[in-house]
Amino acid sequence: MITRRAAGMGAAASFAVAAAHSPAAAADTIELPTPRRTGGRPLMEALALRRSIRAYSSKPLPLQLLSDLLWAANGINRPAEGGRTAPYWRHIMVLDTYAAMADGVWLYDPQAHRLLRHSREDIRADTGLQDFVGGAPLNLVYVAHGERMHDVSPPERRFFASVDTGFIGQNVYLFCASEGLATVFRGAVPYERLEKRLRLPPEQFVTFAQTIGYPAA
């Protein structure tokens, strides 16, 4: 596992990492461009288009779209108080969002709106039990910090963390519907294998995963 540190790379170099998924890319941080907070389809149109799609092009997402997507998923929409685009249990943020892409695994840092490299391994195929996950450009993996959930039993931890994840998943669905992207929220996940590949400590667990990309032509 690679230490989560800023590499001080310029925006152009960071862009190359996300856009080209170059195996030689060395950056440990991708500074995401400011997310667009306007535009997109009207909500009712996005709702009308929302659906699950299971056939993907391998084309990577441009950096601006990745930035917008992560912000829509669970970014900070009220900077003064750190409020998020998705609601969460007891005002305790228990979820991390990992982005599994061809060039490795990245952890979304909502405070700085950037991606921190978690590993250089392509683990996309291990984020699910369906064939399309390994070829899609992006699989989000939602990870809960059980240790942050005090006074509740392990089943309740999984329950509340799953509900939190569902809200994020729907944000992603609506964003994808708005942008003409394909997505599917997934519980068919090889949990033990994926947690091992992510090298999660025992108190953390995967709740769900979600594939995102351009629909296959």
Selected from 184, 200, 206, 212, the binder of ligand FMN by CB under 6 A is 184
Nearest 5°: phi and psi at 170?
A: -70, -35
Q: How far is the CB of 17 from ligand FMN (least distance, A)?
A: 29
Question: Which contiguous run of DSSP H or E holds residue 66?
Answer: helix 63-74
Asked if 187 touches ligand FMN (CB under 6 A), the answer is yes
Q: How far is the CB of 54 from ligand FMN (least distance, A)?
A: 5
Selected from 188, 191, 193, 196, the binder of ligand FMN by CB under 6 A is 188
Q: Binding to ligand FMN (CB under 6 A): which residues in 119-158?
A: 130
* Interface region with ligand FMN, contact rule CB under 6 A, candidates 1-9, 46-54, 82-90, 190-198: 46-54
Residue 208 to residues 97, 116, 159, 186, Cα–Cα distance (Å): 10, 20, 12, 6
For helices 63-74 and 11-20, give the axis angle rounded to 10 degrees: 90
Q: How far is the CB of 194 from ligand FMN (least distance, A)?
A: 13
Nearest to ligand FMN by Cβ — which residue?
188
Task: Please name the residue that has the structure tokens 């695994």.
Answer: 105
Provide the total of helices (H) and of strands (E) in the chain, helices listed first.
Answer: 5, 9
**Smaller CB distance to ligand FMN: residue 54 or 120?**
54
Task: Please name the residue that has the structure tokens 């230490």.
Answer: 3
**Residue 104, both tokens:** 């490795």
Residues 6+ apart with CB under 8 A from 10: none
Q: Binding to ligand FMN (CB under 6 A): which residues in 51-70?
A: 51-52, 54
For helices 63-74 and 154-179, give the axis angle rounded to 10 degrees: 140
* Interface region with ligand FMN, contact rule CB under 6 A, candidates 67-75, 142-150, 182-190, 197-205: 182-190
* Interface region with ligand FMN, contact rule CB under 6 A, candidates 13-21, 100-108, 149-157, 184-192: 184-192
Catalog residues that contact ligand FMN under the rule CB under 6 A: 51-52, 54, 130, 184-188
